[in-house]
Amino acid sequence: MAISSTIIKLTLNIADMDRHYYQTHELTVAQHPSETDLRFMTRVIAFVINANESLMFTKGLSTDDEPDLWQKSLTDEIECWIDLGQPEGKRIRKACGRAKKVIIYTYNERKAHSWWEQQASKLQRFDNLNVHHIDAPKAEALVQRNMELQCNIQEGEFTLSDDTVTVEVTVTLRG
């Protein structure tokens, strides 16, 4: 029998002073059995960075034709496609063709650096693509089945915390 996903109840209190976005999101998110806690938290961080009322977590790892997060218009057009890790060129081309805006967040510096060196010249041709790197040491320590996180962003400084752990998050643009 296959191992089922872990269901995580997540309350995100976001105070993004850079974008003047202040909101609480009550979310139920599935963590795929093969997804590490670091990758899960990178998805959460990507949500916080791009948060708005129409941004949604998708089925993620279990589907090839959906990103990790997306924002759709009322007419079901994909406005923003967000992927994590080091996607293949074919997937990136497909995403850039389907969405108005595509964002890739890398999160494992050694693997991400190698991937970027191989892909950078090929990715320059996509005007609707941005690639960022997320560095969030020890973010996986925040993962619990019921999470309430405070997310603060001010002047590019990003912290994520619960009652006991505070994580400094650094997001850098590649390229």
| Per-residue pLDDT tens over the stretch 124-172 | 999 999 999 999 989 999 999 999 999 999 998 999 999 999 999 999 9
Domains annotated on the chain, with CATH: 6-173 (3.10.640.10)
Instruction: Reply yes or no on whether the pLDDT at 60 is more than 90.
Output: no
Residue 142 neighbours by CB under 8 Å, 6+ apart: 41, 149, 160, 161, 162, 165, 167
Phi then psi for 5, rounded to 5 degrees?
A: -65, 155
Q: What is the mean pLDDT of residues 54-69?
A: 82
End-to-end CA distance of the chain: 44
**DSSP assignment, residue 3?**
P
